[in-house]
Amino acid sequence: MKRVSNNIPSLKVRIHQIIDEALINYKNKTKDSTNFSKLSAIVNQDASGIGQSFIAEHKAFQGYSLSLFNEKTQRHDIDYILKNITGDFINKDLLRKRHKEFQDIYGDLIRKYLKDNVERENLIVETKLVAGDIKQTPEKIAWDASVRDKVPRLLAHVFALWTLQNASNYFEVATEENQSSYLLRPHAAQVVSIFRMLGIGDKKEELTNNLVQIGTGEGKSVTLGPTATILALLGFDVRCACYSEYLSQRDYKGFLPVFESLGVVQYIRYGTFNKLCEDMINRNGNIRQMVEEFILNGSSSAAQSGQRIERAKILLIDEVDIFFSRDFYGNVYTPSASLRDPTITSLISYIWTQRKSNLNLNQIKATA
């Protein structure tokens, strides 16, 4: 069936549904995680390659797929990362110190809260207390030592909440020896990437523009989500830009439970470059409607009244090479509005009928 779905795209969705139902029924009937883990291992060893597509594409194998990913990434520990990392002004000793602080706190939180049906409200409250109440405005951005020193602890709390919210696979395999490998958790490269984006781990530790290279499949979304969360908790408005609406919404939904739990949804926006431009130009009201009303009526009621404290804004770009392509970099975003009025129709009709009479602007104005 899987081979048929791979070769006949029109049947793929329906065949996937049938396979998913069969796998879930088998998983529920066995009620023994060991049997399903053995099945996962056998499927993954299929020489034709179809078995690997089973593991990658069907939710029943999600836990096993996660286990494989963790086993591969955990081999690349902080020593491996620091040995291979390159960049400007990097202080590897400081990065190692910050990572150890993160790892110790993250481990303590997981051990404390990793229990089935445990109440996590205290973790959420702790996370907000670590962040504090910092005001970041366009005129004044606070990023001194007191703020920077919060980052490892804050990141540990954010990642702990994310891990705990995605721990269903862990509890399903309670009898497995490698149960901990079924936890969704960050690897060292992701943690170090976040530190570098936030200016942590160099000589000055300033919040400046940074470019981080992360390979395909190495967890960019798991780097952007926590970074956006930390910045929102520390008082910023965050925009995460991506060239693809599908990928943007997928990444946003993946971290939405964390955003909601910590109350930062209103400060984080994911979208395409065009969508984020629309958000910016319409932040004080529908700009197109305001232009139309002003031209037609001489006034506008679409503007939003009331003063609000504006946060400093930070832009995170996914796939920055796309941003530097000819379609985006150096271009301007030019919205347009369509005016609709009977007089416009009459005017166009008049100009058309008089098109051979050498009309000038003053003659057209005289028709008003």
pLDDT tens digit sequence for 113-142: 887 667 789 999 999 999 999 999 988 999
The answer on 188 and 43 residing in a single domain is no
The answer to the question of residue 51 being in a domain is yes
Between residues 289 and 107, which one has the greater pLDDT? 107
Percent of the chain with pLDDT over 90: 28
Per-residue burial over 290-320, b if 16 or more Cβ lie within 10 Å, else e, is bbbbeeeeeebebeeeeeeeebbebebbbee
The answer on 227 and 92 residing in a single domain is yes
pLDDT above 90 for 157: yes
The pLDDT assigned to 51 comes to 61
Per-residue tokens: 279: 């958000």
The answer on 222 and 175 residing in a single domain is yes
The answer to the question of residue 87 being in a domain is yes
The answer to the question of residue 275 being in a domain is yes
Q: Of 88-92, 216-220, 238-242, where does the model show the most confidence?
A: 238-242
The answer on 146 and 31 residing in a single domain is no
d(CA 286, CA 284): 7
Residue with tokens 């139902």: 21
Domain CATH for 82: 3.40.50
Query: How confident is the model over 245-254, as a mean pLDDT?
Result: 89
Number of domains making up the chain? 3
The answer on 119 and 90 residing in a single domain is yes
Residue 275, domain extent: 74-323
Give the lowest-confidence range in 12-16, 26-30, 132-136, 214-218. Answer: 26-30
The answer on 121 and 13 residing in a single domain is no
User: Are residues 106 and 156 in contact, defined by beta-carbon separation less than 8 angstroms?
Assistant: yes
pLDDT above 70 for 84: yes
Mean pLDDT (the chain, rounded) = 80
The answer to the question of residue 148 being in a domain is yes
Domain closes at, from 40, 71, 102: 71
241, amino acid identity: A
Domain closes at, from 71, 89, 105: 71
The answer to the question of residue 331 being in a domain is no
Who's near 221: CB < 8 A, 6+ residues apart?
Answer: 250, 251, 254, 255, 318
The answer to the question of residue 230 being in a domain is yes
Percent of the chain with pLDDT over 70: 74
The pLDDT assigned to 182 comes to 67
The answer on 82 and 15 residing in a single domain is no
The answer on 357 and 292 residing in a single domain is no
The pLDDT assigned to 310 comes to 85
Query: How confident is the model over 169-174, as a mean pLDDT?
Result: 59
d(CA 188, CA 300): 53
d(CA 222, CA 187): 10
Query: How confident is the model over 146-158, as a mean pLDDT?
Result: 95
The pLDDT assigned to 89 comes to 82
Query: How confident is the model over 181-187, as a mean pLDDT?
Result: 78
The answer on 224 and 150 residing in a single domain is yes
Per-residue pLDDT band for 72 (boundaries 50, 70, 90) equals low
The answer on 314 and 359 residing in a single domain is no
The answer to the question of residue 306 being in a domain is yes
Give the lowest-confidence range in 251-255, 261-265, 312-316, 360-364. Answer: 360-364
pLDDT above 70 for 264: yes
pLDDT above 80 for 35: no
Per-residue pLDDT band for 102 (boundaries 50, 70, 90) equals very high
The answer on 51 and 28 residing in a single domain is yes
The answer to the question of residue 22 being in a domain is yes
The answer on 161 and 35 residing in a single domain is no
Stated length of the chain:
368
